Amino acid sequence: MDQIIERSLGDVTGAGDQLMWIDGEAVAALAGGTIDIFNPSNGARIGTSPAGLAADIDRAVQAARRSFKSGVWSRMPGAARQKILWRAADMIEARAAEIATVEALNAGQLYPFAQAMVHGAVELLRYFAGWATKIHGLTSEISGPMGQFHAYTLRDPIGVAGMIVPWNVPFGLVMTKLGAALAAGCSCVVKPSEETPYSALMLVRILEEAGVPKGVVNVVTGYGHEAGAALAEHPDVDKIAFTGSTEIGKRIVRAAAGNLKKVTLELGGKSPVIMFDDADLAKAIPSTAMGIFLHSGQICIAGSRLYVQRKIFDQVMAGLAGAAASLKIGDAFSPATQIGPLISARQRERVSELVASGVAGGATLVAGGQVHGEQGFYFQPTVLAHPKADSRVIREEIFGPVITANVFDEFDEVLEAANDSTFGLASTVYTTDISKAHRAAKALQAGFVWINCHFVSDPSLPGGGFKQSGWGREMGAEGLDAYLQTKSVFTSLNG
């Protein structure tokens, strides 16, 4: 493992520092600023990346625009784009151990989780590569008072797409956006999180090695309020895809108004988990624990609000408390570790403060609730019972290993509570009654509904949020549509 880490860092960071990637070249920020990058497992500084500003975004956008106008990618035959993307997927798969190592080091993902995310990204890229040969319109034989016409639609790439990616699953989320955009024929500018830039910088090099022309994918590192804001505002960007908080999503909408660029937003979640008293608890309890404690709860679709039917409430609380207490906290690379660090000291402090506010407001601390260790950014898996419906731990996204639990009696009662949120990203139902399961699925206001499972997804099915959890969808045919625009063509057949 140490050799993999050393080799991976050599590929990615050289002597510990990294450069942006614009128009096929590694470049520093024009103003010369850098950002320190840390390992969440121990708090150690592992390198730097450039602190890109508006001028750096502008040169990346110009490079993307030149490549798009040239047609070097946008007008390349779909079959050729498909082959390049498939080759890139094979290359990523061959280097999966190195990429996963960088994700674990930079984002604090447990190494097995990071491996799974990289392999998932490979399959997602292969899925979208297949779409490159299936972008077509439709024909319509129309007639009316003006005569007969041959009419059809064309699907064109939307142009230059800007992508702003968060720190929790950086490689997987950048691939969710890039896979669809590249299949559609767009040129792209990626702004990874300032905290986790390294895997995106690996990816752009692999894509160009595979045959994606220079300038088609550009990566600018920097802070969100500087580089990210400049990308959202840029008048020559046609599309913004953002994953992150609802607050920042609203800012992006306002910034996009300048040229009415198209926007896809995958935002925050406060996902309800409903456990009926006929659930198979031997499966439901560990599944619920995994659904909130995986990656220390730093997953937007984590099941953070639990509603348990009264008859089984005490049994479920005991099971969750046992699961939380049994998880071994530690370094992302240790084979014994079951729960890793939060991304930063700042995030750990926010989680701690929210938990404290819940307890102060009357919630019962069933398990956890404390910072763990003196090195790294760890927080204990935490279970809070009976918080008030208007408390912050119920209303706000915590983005940590914290689950709240409340009791319910009736079906309609729990559906009302589950939907009582400004968010609507994901939801989970545990029951052995198939009719009840599907009635709940129909009533839940969420983009994902899982029945007797959690975190299941597939590139062929779209993901996105209801309400303030986002606009639009990623993955599936709808994910591709987000990077295409349609024109209607009418030809007179009237002699």
Select which of 103, 186, 194, 300 is catalytic: 300
Q: Residues 320, 384: contact at Cβ < 8 Å?
A: no
Select which of 195, 233, 266, 397 is catalytic: 266
DSSP 350-378: HHHHHHHHHHHTT-EEEE--SEE-SSS-E
Look up 195 and say whether it is catalytic.
no
Residue 270's CB: how many other CB atoms inside 10 A?
24
What stretches of 55-205 adopt beta strand conformation (E)? 139-144, 147-157, 160-164, 187-191
Residue 378's CB: how many other CB atoms inside 10 A?
23
Task: Round to whole Å and give the CA distance between 281 and 256.
Answer: 47
Residue 125's CB: how many other CB atoms inside 10 A?
27
Residue 343: burial class (beta carbons within 10 Å; 0-12, 13-18, 19+): buried
User: Which residues have a Cβ under 8 Å from the Cβ of 370 and sit 6 or more positions away?
Assistant: 352, 379, 380
User: Which residues have a Cβ under 8 Å from the Cβ of 318 and sit 6 or more positions away?
Assistant: none
The DSSP bridge partners found for residue 371 are 379
Distance of CA 8 to the CA centre of its chain: 23
User: Which residues have a Cβ under 8 Å from the Cβ of 206 and sit 6 or more positions away?
Assistant: 88, 91, 92, 95
Task: Round to whole Å and give the CA distance between 172 and 166.
Answer: 10
Give which of 269, 347, 339, 337 is closest to 302, Cα–Cα: 269
Look up 300 and say whether it is catalytic.
yes
CA distances to 365, 404, 405, 407 from 317, rounded to whole Å, are 11, 10, 8, 11
Active site residues: 266, 300
